[in-house]
Protein backbone atom coordinates (compact mmCIF):
# COMPACT_ATOMS: atom_id res chain seq x y z
CA UNK A 1 0.00 0.00 0.00
CA UNK A 2 1.47 3.31 -1.05
CA UNK A 3 1.50 5.92 1.65
CA UNK A 4 1.17 9.37 0.16
CA UNK A 5 1.73 12.56 2.06
CA UNK A 6 -0.27 15.53 0.85
CA UNK A 7 -1.77 18.74 2.12
CA UNK A 8 -5.19 17.11 2.18
CA UNK A 9 -3.79 14.20 4.16
CA UNK A 10 -2.33 16.49 6.82
CA UNK A 11 -5.62 18.41 7.24
CA UNK A 12 -7.60 15.19 7.46
CA UNK A 13 -5.35 13.72 10.16
CA UNK A 14 -5.19 16.93 12.13
CA UNK A 15 -8.98 16.68 12.59
CA UNK A 16 -8.44 13.51 14.61
CA UNK A 17 -5.54 15.07 16.58
CA UNK A 18 -2.98 13.18 14.49
CA UNK A 19 -3.79 9.97 16.32
CA UNK A 20 -4.84 7.95 13.31
CA UNK A 21 -1.79 8.10 11.08
CA UNK A 22 -1.01 4.63 9.81
CA UNK A 23 2.29 2.99 10.78
CA UNK A 24 5.11 3.95 8.43
CA UNK A 25 6.50 0.43 8.26
CA UNK A 26 5.66 -3.04 9.52
CA UNK A 27 7.56 -4.77 12.34
CA UNK A 28 7.67 -8.35 11.07
CA UNK A 29 9.20 -11.36 12.76
CA UNK A 30 12.25 -12.49 10.81
CA UNK A 31 11.80 -15.30 8.29
CA UNK A 32 14.14 -18.31 8.28
CA UNK A 33 15.71 -17.36 4.97
CA UNK A 34 16.35 -14.23 2.94
CA UNK A 35 18.08 -13.72 -0.39
CA UNK A 36 19.80 -10.62 0.96
CA UNK A 37 20.37 -9.47 4.52
CA UNK A 38 21.58 -5.95 5.24
CA UNK A 39 23.14 -5.61 8.70
CA UNK A 40 22.59 -2.12 10.06
CA UNK A 41 19.40 -0.04 9.91
CA UNK A 42 20.84 3.42 9.46
CA UNK A 43 20.46 5.60 6.39
CA UNK A 44 23.07 3.66 4.41
CA UNK A 45 21.55 0.25 5.22
CA UNK A 46 17.92 1.22 4.67
CA UNK A 47 18.87 3.07 1.49
CA UNK A 48 20.69 -0.02 0.24
CA UNK A 49 17.56 -2.13 0.76
CA UNK A 50 15.48 0.55 -0.98
CA UNK A 51 17.71 0.66 -4.07
CA UNK A 52 18.04 -3.14 -4.18
CA UNK A 53 14.26 -3.41 -4.38
CA UNK A 54 13.66 -0.39 -6.58
CA UNK A 55 16.53 -0.29 -9.07
CA UNK A 56 17.43 -3.96 -9.20
CA UNK A 57 13.95 -5.42 -8.69
CA UNK A 58 15.16 -7.83 -6.02
CA UNK A 59 12.83 -9.39 -3.46
CA UNK A 60 13.14 -11.24 -0.17
CA UNK A 61 15.39 -8.66 1.52
CA UNK A 62 15.76 -7.92 5.24
CA UNK A 63 17.40 -5.09 7.16
CA UNK A 64 18.52 -6.12 10.65
CA UNK A 65 19.13 -3.44 13.24
CA UNK A 66 20.50 -3.84 16.77
CA UNK A 67 18.74 -0.79 18.24
CA UNK A 68 16.21 1.34 16.43
CA UNK A 69 16.22 2.81 12.93
CA UNK A 70 18.64 5.69 12.59
CA UNK A 71 19.60 5.43 16.28
CA UNK A 72 23.30 5.15 15.50
CA UNK A 73 25.38 7.58 13.50
CA UNK A 74 22.46 8.49 11.20
CA UNK A 75 20.85 10.25 14.16
CA UNK A 76 24.12 11.53 15.63
CA UNK A 77 25.83 13.45 12.86
CA UNK A 78 25.69 17.19 12.20
CA UNK A 79 23.77 16.64 8.92
CA UNK A 80 26.25 18.47 6.68
CA UNK A 81 26.09 17.64 2.97
CA UNK A 82 28.76 18.66 0.44
CA UNK A 83 30.85 17.14 -2.32
CA UNK A 84 33.98 19.33 -2.41
CA UNK A 85 36.49 16.49 -2.12
CA UNK A 86 39.97 16.65 -3.60
CA UNK A 87 40.56 13.47 -5.58
CA UNK A 88 38.58 12.47 -8.67
CA UNK A 89 37.47 9.20 -7.09
CA UNK A 90 35.93 10.88 -4.05
CA UNK A 91 34.57 13.83 -6.01
CA UNK A 92 32.65 11.41 -8.25
CA UNK A 93 31.41 9.46 -5.25
CA UNK A 94 30.18 12.42 -3.21
CA UNK A 95 28.83 14.26 -6.24
CA UNK A 96 26.84 11.16 -7.21
CA UNK A 97 25.41 11.34 -3.72
CA UNK A 98 24.69 15.07 -3.85
CA UNK A 99 22.78 14.64 -7.11
CA UNK A 100 20.61 12.00 -5.46
CA UNK A 101 20.05 14.29 -2.44
CA UNK A 102 18.71 17.00 -4.72
CA UNK A 103 15.80 14.82 -5.80
CA UNK A 104 15.37 12.66 -2.70
CA UNK A 105 12.32 14.34 -1.12
CA UNK A 106 10.42 13.95 -4.39
CA UNK A 107 11.62 10.42 -4.99
CA UNK A 108 10.57 9.26 -1.52
CA UNK A 109 7.51 11.54 -1.34
CA UNK A 110 8.77 12.34 2.13
CA UNK A 111 10.16 15.68 3.17
CA UNK A 112 13.77 15.16 4.20
CA UNK A 113 14.12 18.94 4.64
CA UNK A 114 17.11 19.12 2.31
CA UNK A 115 18.28 22.71 2.44
CA UNK A 116 21.01 23.83 0.04
CA UNK A 117 22.25 26.71 2.15
CA UNK A 118 25.88 26.42 1.15
CA UNK A 119 28.94 25.08 2.92
CA UNK A 120 31.99 27.18 3.73
CA UNK A 121 35.42 25.77 4.61
CA UNK A 122 37.59 28.41 6.29
CA UNK A 123 41.30 29.02 5.77
CA UNK A 124 43.28 30.36 8.74
CA UNK A 125 46.87 30.28 7.50
CA UNK A 126 49.01 30.24 4.37
CA UNK A 127 48.96 26.49 4.13
CA UNK A 128 45.14 26.40 4.43
CA UNK A 129 44.85 28.94 1.61
CA UNK A 130 47.03 26.86 -0.68
CA UNK A 131 45.33 23.60 0.22
CA UNK A 132 41.81 24.98 -0.14
CA UNK A 133 42.57 26.80 -3.41
CA UNK A 134 44.02 23.60 -4.80
CA UNK A 135 40.89 21.74 -3.73
CA UNK A 136 38.63 24.40 -5.29
CA UNK A 137 40.49 24.03 -8.58
CA UNK A 138 40.23 20.25 -8.44
CA UNK A 139 36.50 20.59 -7.72
CA UNK A 140 36.00 22.85 -10.71
CA UNK A 141 37.66 20.31 -12.99
CA UNK A 142 35.17 17.75 -11.71
CA UNK A 143 32.21 20.06 -12.34
CA UNK A 144 31.59 20.75 -8.65
CA UNK A 145 30.30 24.25 -7.81
CA UNK A 146 33.05 25.19 -5.36
CA UNK A 147 34.76 28.57 -5.40
CA UNK A 148 37.16 30.69 -3.35
CA UNK A 149 35.79 33.66 -1.39
CA UNK A 150 37.74 36.34 0.46
CA UNK A 151 37.10 37.62 4.02
CA UNK A 152 34.90 40.45 2.73
CA UNK A 153 32.59 38.00 0.98
CA UNK A 154 32.63 35.78 4.06
CA UNK A 155 31.54 38.73 6.22
CA UNK A 156 28.70 39.36 3.79
CA UNK A 157 27.48 35.78 4.05
CA UNK A 158 28.06 35.45 7.81
CA UNK A 159 28.08 38.94 9.40
CA UNK A 160 28.44 37.57 12.94
CA UNK A 161 31.81 35.98 12.21
CA UNK A 162 34.90 37.51 13.76
CA UNK A 163 37.45 37.34 10.95
CA UNK A 164 40.21 39.62 12.22
CA UNK A 165 40.64 39.82 15.98
CA UNK A 166 41.48 36.27 16.75
CA UNK A 167 44.54 34.12 17.09
CA UNK A 168 44.02 32.44 13.73
CA UNK A 169 42.38 35.11 11.56
CA UNK A 170 40.06 34.06 8.76
CA UNK A 171 41.90 34.58 5.48
CA UNK A 172 39.36 33.19 3.05
CA UNK A 173 37.24 30.15 2.40
CA UNK A 174 35.93 27.74 -0.15
CA UNK A 175 32.20 27.94 -0.70
CA UNK A 176 29.93 25.31 -2.22
CA UNK A 177 26.43 26.78 -2.67
CA UNK A 178 24.85 23.42 -3.50
CA UNK A 179 25.98 21.99 -0.16
CA UNK A 180 23.77 22.21 2.88
CA UNK A 181 21.95 20.17 5.47
CA UNK A 182 19.06 17.70 5.69
CA UNK A 183 16.94 16.24 8.44
CA UNK A 184 18.87 13.08 9.31
CA UNK A 185 16.06 11.06 10.93
CA UNK A 186 13.80 11.76 7.97
CA UNK A 187 16.34 10.21 5.63
CA UNK A 188 16.24 6.93 7.54
CA UNK A 189 12.45 7.04 7.92
CA UNK A 190 11.84 7.91 4.27
CA UNK A 191 14.01 5.08 3.00
CA UNK A 192 12.53 2.67 5.58
CA UNK A 193 8.96 3.50 4.59
CA UNK A 194 9.51 3.11 0.86
CA UNK A 195 11.63 -0.03 1.26
CA UNK A 196 8.93 -1.53 3.49
CA UNK A 197 6.31 -0.81 0.82
CA UNK A 198 8.32 -2.86 -1.65
CA UNK A 199 8.33 -5.80 0.76
CA UNK A 200 11.63 -5.34 2.58
CA UNK A 201 11.44 -6.73 6.14
CA UNK A 202 12.82 -4.22 8.63
CA UNK A 203 13.73 -6.01 11.85
CA UNK A 204 14.63 -3.79 14.79
CA UNK A 205 15.94 -4.73 18.24
CA UNK A 206 17.68 -7.70 16.72
CA UNK A 207 21.42 -7.92 17.23
CA UNK A 208 23.61 -9.75 14.75
CA UNK A 209 26.05 -11.82 16.79
CA UNK A 210 27.93 -13.71 14.12
CA UNK A 211 28.25 -13.91 10.38
CA UNK A 212 28.11 -17.59 9.39
CA UNK A 213 30.35 -18.81 6.60
CA UNK A 214 31.18 -22.21 5.15
CA UNK A 215 33.81 -23.12 2.55
CA UNK A 216 34.40 -19.47 1.70
CA UNK A 217 30.71 -18.76 1.20
CA UNK A 218 28.36 -16.77 3.38
CA UNK A 219 25.57 -18.81 4.99
CA UNK A 220 23.63 -16.25 6.98
CA UNK A 221 23.74 -14.57 10.37
CA UNK A 222 23.24 -15.57 13.98
CA UNK A 223 21.05 -13.03 15.73
CA UNK A 224 19.37 -12.49 19.07
CA UNK A 225 16.22 -13.77 17.32
CA UNK A 226 17.86 -16.94 16.07
CA UNK A 227 19.73 -18.02 12.98
CA UNK A 228 18.67 -16.41 9.71
CA UNK A 229 20.05 -17.93 6.53
CA UNK A 230 20.91 -15.77 3.54
CA UNK A 231 22.55 -15.98 0.14
CA UNK A 232 24.13 -12.57 0.42
CA UNK A 233 24.96 -10.41 3.43
CA UNK A 234 25.84 -6.71 3.29
CA UNK A 235 27.35 -5.22 6.45
CA UNK A 236 26.82 -1.48 7.00
CA UNK A 237 27.27 -1.23 10.75
CA UNK A 238 29.60 1.80 10.96
CA UNK A 239 31.66 1.54 14.18
CA UNK A 240 30.79 -2.12 14.68
CA UNK A 241 31.55 -3.28 11.12
CA UNK A 242 35.06 -4.47 11.95
CA UNK A 243 33.79 -6.37 15.01
CA UNK A 244 31.23 -8.19 12.86
CA UNK A 245 33.78 -8.80 10.09
CA UNK A 246 36.01 -10.46 12.67
CA UNK A 247 33.28 -13.07 13.33
CA UNK A 248 33.63 -14.11 9.68
CA UNK A 249 37.41 -14.13 9.94
CA UNK A 250 37.87 -10.93 7.93
CA UNK A 251 40.16 -8.20 9.20
CA UNK A 252 39.28 -4.68 8.09
CA UNK A 253 41.69 -1.71 8.31
CA UNK A 254 39.30 0.24 10.55
CA UNK A 255 39.63 1.96 13.90
CA UNK A 256 36.49 2.89 15.84
CA UNK A 257 36.53 6.22 17.64
CA UNK A 258 33.95 8.48 19.25
CA UNK A 259 32.96 11.59 17.30
CA UNK A 260 31.11 14.20 19.30
CA UNK A 261 28.51 16.81 18.48
CA UNK A 262 26.41 19.20 20.52
CA UNK A 263 23.46 21.54 20.14
CA UNK A 264 22.66 24.81 21.84
CA UNK A 265 19.43 26.28 23.07
CA UNK A 266 17.27 27.53 20.16
CA UNK A 267 17.69 31.15 19.09
CA UNK A 268 16.44 33.36 16.26
CA UNK A 269 18.09 32.84 12.84
CA UNK A 270 21.66 34.18 12.91
CA UNK A 271 23.58 31.98 10.53
CA UNK A 272 22.10 30.78 7.25
CA UNK A 273 24.91 28.67 5.92
CA UNK A 274 27.20 25.91 7.17
CA UNK A 275 30.66 27.03 8.31
CA UNK A 276 33.42 24.51 8.83
CA UNK A 277 36.95 25.10 9.94
CA UNK A 278 39.57 22.46 9.63
CA UNK A 279 42.35 24.37 11.35
CA UNK A 280 40.69 25.63 14.54
CA UNK A 281 38.45 22.64 14.34
CA UNK A 282 34.84 23.55 14.80
CA UNK A 283 31.87 23.58 12.56
CA UNK A 284 28.47 25.12 13.01
CA UNK A 285 25.10 25.44 11.33
CA UNK A 286 21.67 26.44 12.61
CA UNK A 287 18.83 23.95 12.56
CA UNK A 288 15.32 24.90 11.50
CA UNK A 289 14.36 24.80 15.19
CA UNK A 290 16.99 27.49 15.83
CA UNK A 291 19.53 25.37 17.67
CA UNK A 292 23.17 25.76 16.75
CA UNK A 293 24.44 22.37 15.65
CA UNK A 294 28.11 22.17 16.54
CA UNK A 295 30.53 19.46 15.54
CA UNK A 296 33.84 18.54 17.08
CA UNK A 297 36.76 16.30 16.23
CA UNK A 298 37.18 12.65 17.04
CA UNK A 299 38.47 11.62 20.42
CA UNK A 300 42.01 10.40 19.94
CA UNK A 301 41.57 6.83 21.16
CA UNK A 302 39.66 3.70 20.13
CA UNK A 303 36.38 3.37 21.95
CA UNK A 304 32.86 2.06 21.57
CA UNK A 305 31.31 4.30 24.22
CA UNK A 306 29.06 6.87 22.64
CA UNK A 307 30.13 9.81 24.78
CA UNK A 308 33.73 11.00 24.30
CA UNK A 309 35.78 13.32 26.50
CA UNK A 310 35.00 16.84 27.67
CA UNK A 311 38.35 18.19 26.55
CA UNK A 312 37.13 17.84 22.94
CA UNK A 313 33.96 19.78 23.75
CA UNK A 314 36.03 22.47 25.46
CA UNK A 315 38.39 22.85 22.48
CA UNK A 316 35.49 23.07 20.06
CA UNK A 317 33.52 25.60 22.07
CA UNK A 318 36.67 27.68 22.52
CA UNK A 319 37.05 27.91 18.75
CA UNK A 320 33.35 28.61 18.21
CA UNK A 321 33.30 31.44 20.76
CA UNK A 322 36.38 33.04 19.25
CA UNK A 323 34.96 32.82 15.73
CA UNK A 324 31.48 33.99 16.82
CA UNK A 325 31.78 36.15 19.96
CA UNK A 326 27.99 36.59 19.85
CA UNK A 327 27.58 32.95 20.97
CA UNK A 328 29.67 33.50 24.12
CA UNK A 329 26.76 33.55 26.57
CA UNK A 330 24.78 30.71 25.02
CA UNK A 331 23.95 27.49 26.78
CA UNK A 332 24.48 24.09 25.30
CA UNK A 333 21.54 21.72 25.63
CA UNK A 334 22.83 18.33 24.60
CA UNK A 335 26.10 16.60 23.82
CA UNK A 336 26.59 13.09 22.46
CA UNK A 337 29.02 10.86 20.64
CA UNK A 338 28.75 8.37 17.81
CA UNK A 339 31.22 5.60 17.01
CA UNK A 340 32.81 6.20 13.63
CA UNK A 341 34.94 3.69 11.73
CA UNK A 342 38.00 5.37 10.32
CA UNK A 343 40.08 4.07 7.43
CA UNK A 344 43.82 4.81 7.18
CA UNK A 345 43.17 7.04 4.13
CA UNK A 346 39.95 8.67 5.45
CA UNK A 347 38.03 7.22 2.49
CA UNK A 348 35.33 4.57 2.69
CA UNK A 349 35.30 0.91 1.70
CA UNK A 350 32.40 -0.28 -0.51
CA UNK A 351 33.64 -3.65 -1.50
CA UNK A 352 33.34 -7.38 -1.91
CA UNK A 353 35.69 -9.52 0.12
CA UNK A 354 37.31 -12.94 -0.12
CA UNK A 355 34.12 -14.60 1.18
CA UNK A 356 31.54 -15.12 -1.56
CA UNK A 357 28.31 -13.25 -0.92
CA UNK A 358 29.69 -11.03 1.84
CA UNK A 359 29.93 -7.30 1.20
CA UNK A 360 31.12 -4.38 3.29
CA UNK A 361 30.17 -0.72 3.23
CA UNK A 362 32.22 0.93 5.93
CA UNK A 363 35.06 3.26 6.79
CA UNK A 364 32.94 6.37 6.29
CA UNK A 365 34.62 7.77 9.36
CA UNK A 366 33.58 11.28 10.16
CA UNK A 367 31.72 12.03 6.91
CA UNK A 368 29.19 9.33 6.15
CA UNK A 369 25.93 11.25 6.32
CA UNK A 370 26.54 13.33 3.20
CA UNK A 371 27.11 10.14 1.26
CA UNK A 372 23.98 8.32 2.41
CA UNK A 373 22.03 8.12 -0.90
CA UNK A 374 25.13 7.64 -3.05
CA UNK A 375 26.66 5.03 -0.78
CA UNK A 376 23.37 3.13 -0.56
CA UNK A 377 22.86 3.31 -4.31
CA UNK A 378 26.36 2.04 -5.12
CA UNK A 379 26.33 -0.62 -2.40
CA UNK A 380 23.02 -1.94 -3.77
CA UNK A 381 24.63 -2.10 -7.22
CA UNK A 382 27.66 -3.94 -5.82
CA UNK A 383 25.46 -6.52 -4.05
CA UNK A 384 22.99 -6.97 -6.89
CA UNK A 385 25.60 -7.39 -9.64
CA UNK A 386 28.25 -8.97 -7.42
CA UNK A 387 30.72 -6.44 -8.75
CA UNK A 388 31.37 -2.79 -7.96
CA UNK A 389 29.97 0.14 -9.91
CA UNK A 390 32.69 2.13 -11.69
CA UNK A 391 32.25 4.93 -9.11
CA UNK A 392 32.93 2.72 -6.08
CA UNK A 393 35.48 0.43 -7.75
CA UNK A 394 38.43 2.49 -6.35
CA UNK A 395 37.02 2.11 -2.83
CA UNK A 396 37.92 -1.57 -2.57
CA UNK A 397 39.73 -3.55 0.08
CA UNK A 398 42.67 -4.37 -2.20
CA UNK A 399 43.93 -0.79 -2.00
CA UNK A 400 45.44 -1.60 1.40
CA UNK A 401 47.67 -4.13 -0.33
CA UNK A 402 48.37 -2.28 -3.59
CA UNK A 403 48.86 1.05 -1.84
CA UNK A 404 46.53 2.84 -4.26
CA UNK A 405 44.88 4.91 -1.52
CA UNK A 406 42.39 7.75 -1.89
CA UNK A 407 43.87 10.08 0.69
CA UNK A 408 41.17 12.52 1.77
CA UNK A 409 42.52 13.64 5.14
CA UNK A 410 42.47 17.23 3.88
CA UNK A 411 38.89 17.24 2.61
CA UNK A 412 37.51 15.15 5.46
CA UNK A 413 37.40 18.37 7.54
CA UNK A 414 37.64 16.50 10.82
CA UNK A 415 41.08 15.72 12.18
CA UNK A 416 41.66 12.04 12.75
CA UNK B 1 37.29 12.03 30.19
CA UNK B 2 39.88 9.56 31.37
CA UNK B 3 42.17 9.85 34.36
CA UNK B 4 45.43 8.22 33.35
CA UNK B 5 48.03 7.02 35.79
CA UNK B 6 51.34 7.85 34.13
CA UNK B 7 53.91 5.36 35.48
CA UNK B 8 56.40 8.22 35.84
CA UNK B 9 54.24 11.17 37.01
CA UNK B 10 51.14 9.67 38.59
CA UNK B 11 47.47 10.36 37.86
CA UNK B 12 46.86 13.11 35.33
CA UNK B 13 44.04 14.35 33.15
CA UNK B 14 43.69 12.65 29.77
CA UNK B 15 44.13 15.95 27.93
CA UNK B 16 47.84 15.79 28.84
CA UNK B 17 48.23 12.54 26.90
CA UNK B 18 48.18 11.44 23.29
CA UNK B 19 47.06 8.01 22.24
CA UNK B 20 49.47 6.03 20.09
CA UNK B 21 47.16 3.29 18.85
CA UNK B 22 47.63 -0.44 19.21
CA UNK B 23 50.68 -1.59 21.19
CA UNK B 24 53.16 -4.36 20.40
CA UNK B 25 53.24 -3.92 16.62
CA UNK B 26 56.63 -5.14 15.41
CA UNK B 27 58.10 -3.92 12.15
CA UNK B 28 58.76 -6.92 9.89
CA UNK B 29 62.42 -7.93 9.98
CA UNK B 30 62.91 -8.28 6.21
CA UNK B 31 60.60 -5.78 4.52
CA UNK B 32 62.19 -6.35 1.12
CA UNK B 33 61.44 -10.06 1.11
CA UNK B 34 57.88 -10.18 2.45
CA UNK B 35 54.72 -10.13 0.32
CA UNK B 36 52.63 -7.03 -0.38
CA UNK B 37 49.83 -8.55 1.71
CA UNK B 38 52.10 -8.90 4.74
CA UNK B 39 53.49 -5.40 4.30
CA UNK B 40 50.00 -3.93 3.84
CA UNK B 41 48.94 -5.68 7.00
CA UNK B 42 51.81 -4.13 8.93
CA UNK B 43 51.18 -0.62 7.55
CA UNK B 44 47.38 -0.40 7.53
CA UNK B 45 45.75 -3.12 9.62
CA UNK B 46 45.36 -2.75 13.37
CA UNK B 47 43.09 -4.73 15.61
CA UNK B 48 39.99 -2.87 16.70
CA UNK B 49 38.37 -4.98 19.40
CA UNK B 50 35.29 -4.09 21.36
CA UNK B 51 36.57 -5.07 24.78
CA UNK B 52 40.15 -5.67 25.94
CA UNK B 53 42.66 -3.60 23.96
CA UNK B 54 46.44 -3.13 24.39
CA UNK B 55 47.41 0.39 23.44
CA UNK B 56 50.17 2.98 23.70
CA UNK B 57 50.00 6.40 25.30
CA UNK B 58 52.51 9.23 25.49
CA UNK B 59 52.46 11.84 28.25
CA UNK B 60 52.92 14.58 25.64
CA UNK B 61 52.26 17.54 27.94
CA UNK B 62 54.20 16.03 30.84
CA UNK B 63 57.25 13.79 30.98
CA UNK B 64 56.89 12.95 27.26
CA UNK B 65 57.52 9.29 27.95
CA UNK B 66 55.69 6.45 26.24
CA UNK B 67 53.97 3.63 28.11
CA UNK B 68 51.40 0.91 27.46
CA UNK B 69 47.92 0.38 28.80
CA UNK B 70 45.19 -2.23 28.70
CA UNK B 71 41.76 -0.65 28.34
CA UNK B 72 38.26 -1.99 27.88
CA UNK B 73 37.05 -0.11 24.80
CA UNK B 74 33.41 -0.90 25.56
CA UNK B 75 33.52 0.97 28.88
CA UNK B 76 36.78 2.99 28.62
CA UNK B 77 37.94 1.47 31.91
CA UNK B 78 41.74 1.41 32.12
CA UNK B 79 42.60 -2.03 33.48
CA UNK B 80 46.38 -1.92 33.61
CA UNK B 81 49.22 0.45 32.87
CA UNK B 82 52.72 -0.92 32.28
CA UNK B 83 56.06 0.37 31.09
CA UNK B 84 57.43 -0.41 27.64
CA UNK B 85 59.97 -2.91 28.94
CA UNK B 86 57.45 -4.79 31.07
CA UNK B 87 55.82 -7.96 29.81
CA UNK B 88 52.41 -7.43 28.21
CA UNK B 89 49.55 -8.90 30.24
CA UNK B 90 47.45 -11.39 28.30
CA UNK B 91 43.93 -10.61 27.13
CA UNK B 92 42.58 -13.62 28.98
CA UNK B 93 43.82 -12.18 32.29
CA UNK B 94 41.02 -9.65 32.10
CA UNK B 95 37.29 -10.18 32.33
CA UNK B 96 35.44 -9.51 29.10
CA UNK B 97 32.25 -7.72 30.07
CA UNK B 98 30.51 -8.28 26.74
CA UNK B 99 27.91 -10.97 26.09
CA UNK B 100 28.34 -10.88 22.31
CA UNK B 101 30.92 -9.35 19.94
CA UNK B 102 28.95 -6.20 19.17
CA UNK B 103 26.78 -6.23 22.31
CA UNK B 104 26.85 -3.84 25.21
CA UNK B 105 28.27 -4.42 28.70
CA UNK B 106 25.81 -4.13 31.60
CA UNK B 107 27.64 -1.17 33.07
CA UNK B 108 29.63 1.75 31.85
CA UNK B 109 29.09 1.92 28.09
CA UNK B 110 26.75 4.90 28.00
CA UNK B 111 25.13 3.42 24.88
CA UNK B 112 21.52 3.75 25.86
CA UNK B 113 20.12 3.45 22.35
CA UNK B 114 20.88 -0.21 22.24
CA UNK B 115 20.31 -1.10 25.88
CA UNK B 116 17.20 -2.95 26.81
- Nearest residue of chain B to residue A254 (CA atoms): B48
Show residues of chain B in contact with A406, CB under 8 Å.
none
CA distance B36 to chain A (A): 6
pLDDT digits (tens, 9 = 90+) for A148-179: 999 999 999 999 999 999 999 999 999 999 99
Angle, alpha carbons A46-A49-A55 (nearest 5°):
130
Give chain A's residues under pLDDT 70: 1-2, 413-416
User: Are A311 and B53 in contact (CB < 8 Å)?
Assistant: no
Partner residue opposite B48 with nearest CB, options A68, A224, A302: A302
Cβ separation B111–A244 shorter than 8 A: no
Chain B residues whose CB is inside 8 A of the A363 CB are none
User: For B66-83, what is each residue's pLDDT tens digit?
Assistant: 999 999 999 999 999 999
What is the pLDDT confidence band of residue B111, given thresholds at 50, 70 and 90?
low
Q: Which residues pair with A341 in a beta bridge?
A: A256
User: Could you tell me if A206 and A65 are in contact, meaning their C-beta atoms sit under 8 angstroms apart?
Assistant: yes
Say yes or no for a CB contact (<8 Å) between A247 and B44: no
Q: How many CB atoms lie within 10 A of CB B115?
A: 12
Are A309 and B14 in contact (CB < 8 Å)? yes
Nearest CB to A209 within list B19, B74, B100: B100
pLDDT at position A1 is 52
Nearest to A188 by CA among A372, A54, A359, A366: A372
Q: How far is CA A229 from CA A52, A318, A382, B9, in A?
A: 18, 51, 20, 54
Q: What's A76's DSSP letter?
A: T
pLDDT at B97: 83
CA-nearest residue to A256 within chain B is B48
Which residue from A78, A80, A89 is spatially nearest to A370, judged by alpha carbons?
A80
- Chain A partners of B56 at a C-beta cutoff of 8 Å? none
- pLDDT attached to residue A414: 62
| C-alpha distance from A259 to closest chain B C-alpha (Å) | 14
The angle at the Cα of A369, spanning A363 to A374, to the nearest 5 degrees, equals 80
- The pLDDT of residue A290: 95
pLDDT at B116: 46
* Confidence (pTM): 0.95
Amino acid sequence: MKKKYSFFNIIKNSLSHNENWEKMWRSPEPRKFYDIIIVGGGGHGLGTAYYLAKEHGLKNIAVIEKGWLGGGNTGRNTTIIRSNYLWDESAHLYEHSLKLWENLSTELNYNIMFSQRGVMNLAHNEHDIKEIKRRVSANKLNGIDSHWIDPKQIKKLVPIMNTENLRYPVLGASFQPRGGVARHDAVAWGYAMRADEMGVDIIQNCEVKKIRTKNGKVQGVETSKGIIRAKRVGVVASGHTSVLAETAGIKLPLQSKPLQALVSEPIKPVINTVVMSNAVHAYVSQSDKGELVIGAGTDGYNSFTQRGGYNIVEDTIRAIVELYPIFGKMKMLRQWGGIVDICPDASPIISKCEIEGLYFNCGWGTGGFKATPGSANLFAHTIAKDKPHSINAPFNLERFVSGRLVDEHGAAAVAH
Amino acid sequence: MLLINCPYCGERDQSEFTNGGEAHIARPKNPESISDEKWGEYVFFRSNPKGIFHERWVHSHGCRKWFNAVRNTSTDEILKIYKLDEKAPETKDFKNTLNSPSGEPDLGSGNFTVKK
